[in-house]
Amino acid sequence: MKSFEELGLSADTLKTLKVKGFEEPTPIQEKTIPVILLGSEDIIGQAQTGTGKTAAFGLPLVELLDKRLKHVQALVLTPTRELAIQVAEEIHSLKGKKQLSIVPIYGGQSIQLQLRSLRKGVDIVVGTPGRILDHLKRKSLNLQSITHLVLDEGDEMLNMGFLEDVKEIMDQTSEDKRTMLFSATMPKAIMQIAKKYMNEYKVLKVTKGELTSSRTEQIYFEVSEQNKFEALCRIIDVEEDFFGLVFCRTKVDVNRVANHLMERSYQTDALHGDISQSQREKILSKFKKRKINILIATDVAARGLDVPDITHVINYSLPQDPEAYVHRIGRTGRAGKTGNAITFVTPVEYRKLQFIKHKAKTDIRKEKLPKVKDIIKLKKQRIRSRLEGIIETGLKEEYLQLAQNLLDKHESEYLLGALLQHVFQGELDETSYTEIVDTVVDKNGKTRLFVGFGKSSGLTHKKLISIVKEHCDVSSDKIRDIQICDKFAFISLPFHEAEQVLKYFQKNRNQSGVYITKAKKDRGKERRFKR
């Protein structure tokens, strides 16, 4: 791993990175920054959200652009308003003392405000395709002289139907510009854009093994569905300075979890697809300023979200696929800092967790949830530390005087106890927590199998068990939920034994004359998951 000093960045930029807390480049930054700074070819970068790609192209832009020029020098296209805002803010934070103007242009914001900004002069425009086209048609934006064009989240722009808009915008840019395209995946349409609109280009790819952050500690807890909320409260309470994102599968789940947390006086809010853009911006502003320290969100609502110093990402619900898992946990453990990714796994989800671990090539360690008595003990230690810290830094005279007056009338331990009870109220009350019964996950799980003949062929429970035992060496006590119909039958087996049975009968179907396969319900689940 190279250091930022070895990537060719200036002393001023290195100083800015140090202030921001960036200690070492991410894989995509290490690959991309020197090529942009020292080369001249176009770039195709394959990297997921959360891998530091904004800085990968933002740092070279800051280094290469010249403030003395009186026209737009760079355009960054993003698929969403939120991402446009995030990218503009990130580049602004990277420019240090360099006098560059960076402006986000997106739908939903006052166009008059954008017109005023553009008239003043802008060096880098970060925008969504629709609004950029609006300004091009109004002649309020001229891209004929740009030196750099960045297409960020290229595959997302395709998925959201922006392909024609992107092509139209690219047709109105200078021919000798340098184009940089970043995408999590490389579908054919992306490569067609590259071949048609890009000059000689270089592909810089972050491999799957590099996607997860080595600075993020990844653990999982086995919990039942009804105990997830209690588990979440314990995780939050055991951390002294929790600042985290909690991912749920649906907006209903997001609202339910957020409301329950509010009822328990946690500082939290919810983010999902039904929230308006103005509400979204207010919620994110509160989160960034730490007026709330817990944000509950769906994957779609959190797309493009980039908030510094997040300590925890919690998968309240398992993500749909390994890439979604990588996207989620990439929001912590950034800029050289450590982070925590916590996943709640119910008994029926264990196999899905193993699939995510395998595909993401990452280790997710099992842990036990903290006990109530341990949380209370930690809270007592923190209270003690806070009080001792106040004493060490010096008490204000008015409080000392009030304490002396009270001590004249009351015993010191009773007085202090009353004060602690008044300030911390139910903080140390063990009954405020619900007991969680340890959940045992069936590591084998079960698969439902379909048998291609039934009663009309003389099949009985005993005969079906005998066939499976004889050919596959499976113990009869493993065979469960036998259901024999007229022309077919069903049985359930643990995953491992089911694989043995399937493998044998697929290989020897012609000799045995027995047709056994996965039941349609199980096959459908597997297909949906793989997609």
* SS3 label, residue 320: coil
Tokens of 180: 């940089």
- pLDDT value, residue 143: 95
- pLDDT value, residue 529: 36
Residue 266 lies in a domain: yes
Q: How far is CA 264 from the centre of its chain?
A: 25
What digits encode the pLDDT tens for the residues 266-314? Answer: 999 999 878 887 888 899 889 999 999 999 998 877 866 778 789 999 9
Residue 439 lies in a domain: no
Mean pLDDT of 142-165: 88
- pLDDT value, residue 274: 84
Geometric angle at alpha carbon 232, from 421 and 431, rounded to 5°:
35
Residue 441 lies in a domain: no
Dihedral sign for Cα atoms in the order 233, 238, 244, 247: negative
Last residue of one domain, picked from the residues 370, 398, 420: 370
Which residues face 203 on adjacent strands? 44
Residue with tokens 């062929």: 457
- Residues 228, 313 within the same domain: yes
Dihedral sign for Cα atoms in the order 117, 120, 125, 131: positive
Domain around 480: 446-530
Report how far apart, in Å, the C-alpha atoms of 357 and of each of 201, 325, 362 are.
33, 10, 5
Report how far apart, in Å, the C-alpha atoms of 22 and of each of 118, 356, 484 are.
31, 29, 63
Mean pLDDT of 428-452: 70
- Please determine, for residue 526, whether its predicted confidence score (pLDDT) is greater than 50: no
- Residues 26, 154 within the same domain: yes
The CATH number for 484's domain is 3.30.70.330
- pLDDT value, residue 32: 93
CB atoms within 10 A of CB 500: 18
Lowest average pLDDT, out of 160-164, 212-216, 285-289, goes to 212-216
CB atoms within 10 A of CB 196: 9
Dist CA 77 CA 83 (whole Å)? 10
Lowest average pLDDT, out of 180-184, 376-380, 513-517, goes to 513-517
Tokens of 231: 């588990």
- pLDDT value, residue 523: 42
Residue 437 lies in a domain: no
Tokens of 451: 């048998």
Dist CA 80 CA 6 (whole Å)? 33
Tokens of 529: 């998951």
- pLDDT value, residue 531: 37
- pLDDT value, residue 479: 87
Given the DSSP bridges, would you call strands 446-451 and 516-518 parallel, antiparallel or unpaired? antiparallel
Q: Is the Cβ–Cβ distance between 478 and 493 less than 8 Å?
A: yes
The CATH number for 340's domain is 3.40.50.300
**Residues 6+ away with beta carbon under 8 Å from 14:** 4, 5
Residue 440 lies in a domain: no
Mean pLDDT of 185-198: 83
524: confidence class by pLDDT, cuts 50, 70, 90: very low
Last residue of one domain, picked from the residues 346, 370, 394: 370
- Residues 75, 99 within the same domain: yes
- pLDDT value, residue 131: 94
**What share of the chain in percent tops pLDDT 90?**
33
What digits encode the pLDDT tens for the residues 472-491? Answer: 888 888 888 888 998 888 88
* Number of domain units in the chain: 4
- pLDDT value, residue 207: 62
What digits encode the pLDDT tens for the residues 324-362? Answer: 788 788 888 766 678 899 999 987 788 788 888 877 778
- pLDDT value, residue 261: 94
- Residues 234, 267 within the same domain: yes
- Please determine, for residue 213, whether its predicted confidence score (pLDDT) is greater than 60: no
| Highest-scoring range by mean pLDDT, 81-85, 220-224, 432-436, 503-507 | 220-224
- pLDDT value, residue 530: 38
- Residues 75, 115 within the same domain: yes
Q: Is the Cβ–Cβ distance between 339 and 271 less than 8 Å?
A: no
Residue 251 lies in a domain: yes
Q: Treating both helix axes as pointing N-terminal to C-terminal, what angle do 322-329 and 350-360 enclose, rounded to 10 degrees?
A: 70
- pLDDT value, residue 510: 59
What digits encode the pLDDT tens for the residues 386-403? Answer: 888 888 888 888 888 888
Geometric angle at alpha carbon 221, from 216 and 227, rounded to 5°:
130
Residue 47 lies in a domain: yes
Tokens of 408: 């004249």
- Residues 227, 175 within the same domain: no
527: confidence class by pLDDT, cuts 50, 70, 90: very low
Dist CA 297 CA 91 (whole Å)? 25
Greatest alpha-carbon pair distance for the chain in Å reads 97
- Strand (E) or helix (H) holding 288: helix 277-288
- Residues 405, 451 within the same domain: no
Last residue of one domain, picked from the residues 328, 354, 370: 370
- Residues 276, 241 within the same domain: yes
Residue 438 lies in a domain: no
Nearest to 325 by CA among 351, 357, 293: 357
- pLDDT value, residue 443: 57
| Mean pLDDT over each residue of the chain, to the nearest integer | 84
- Residues 108, 190 within the same domain: yes
- Residues 363, 378 within the same domain: no
**Residues 6+ away with beta carbon under 8 Å from 42:** 178, 179, 180, 181, 194, 198, 199, 200, 201, 202
- Residues 9, 130 within the same domain: yes
- Residues 196, 325 within the same domain: no
- pLDDT value, residue 414: 84
